[in-house]
Amino acid sequence: MLTTLTTSYTDTRAADLAWALGREPLPALATLDLELSGTRLQLRLLGASHQVLLEEEQSSCSETVACIPGSSTPLPLGVAKRVGDWEYEFAARVEVLSPDRFASRAQELLALVSDHPHGLAGVFPGSPHAFTALLAQRVDGYVHWRTWHAYPQDGQLVATRTRVGVRVPVG
C-alpha cells in the first residue's frame, strides 16, 4: 500500500534516527494491520519514521525507529536480545548514493513495497523520493520486517532488518 503523508518531513537527517524497544504506540499517519500465521502485526508510519507492533498469544513487542525527542539511543548497527519469550534481532545500515542512483533505488523500493500485500510506504510532501517504507513476512516460524527511510537531500537511505522468533528451550 502506498500513501502520501499529509505532514511535514520531521526526521530530516539519517543521523537523527533513534531506535527503541517497548515504546507505547505513537500517533500514526498510516497503518497496515496484518495476520501472519497467528501473529498480529501492525506496521505504522509516523511523522518521524516507523513503528512496528507485534502480538502473539500473551506476548507483545514494539520497535520504534524514529526521530525521538530526548532519546539517548542512537540507531545501532545491530542488536540481539531476548524480549519475553522471543529472540529479537535488529540490523541497520546507511547507504550513501549519487542523486541518479538514489532516485532509481527509491523508485525500485516504492514499487516493491506498494505492490506487496504486506507492504506499507508513505511519501512525504516536497519530494517523491522522501519516503518511509515497511515490508513484513513470516518465514520458518520467524516474523521478519524490513524498512527503508529515505533522505534525498543527503543521498542517504537507511535500511533496517528485524527478525523476531519464539525462543526454543535447550534440551
Q: pLDDT tens digit string along 68-106?
A: 777 666 788 899 998 888 899 999 999 999 999 999 999
Give 67's contacts (C-beta < 8 A, 6+ positions apart).
10, 11, 16, 17, 18, 48, 49
Alpha-carbon gap, residue 96 to 139, rounded angstroms: 30
Across residues 124-147, what is the average pLDDT?
90
The three grid cell numbers given for residue 68, joined into one nine-digit string: 525521538
Helix (H, G, I), strand (E, B) or coil at 84: coil
Amino acid at 82: R
Q: What is the pTM of this model?
A: 0.90
- In this predicted structure, the answer to whether residue 143 has a pLDDT above a threshold of 60 is yes
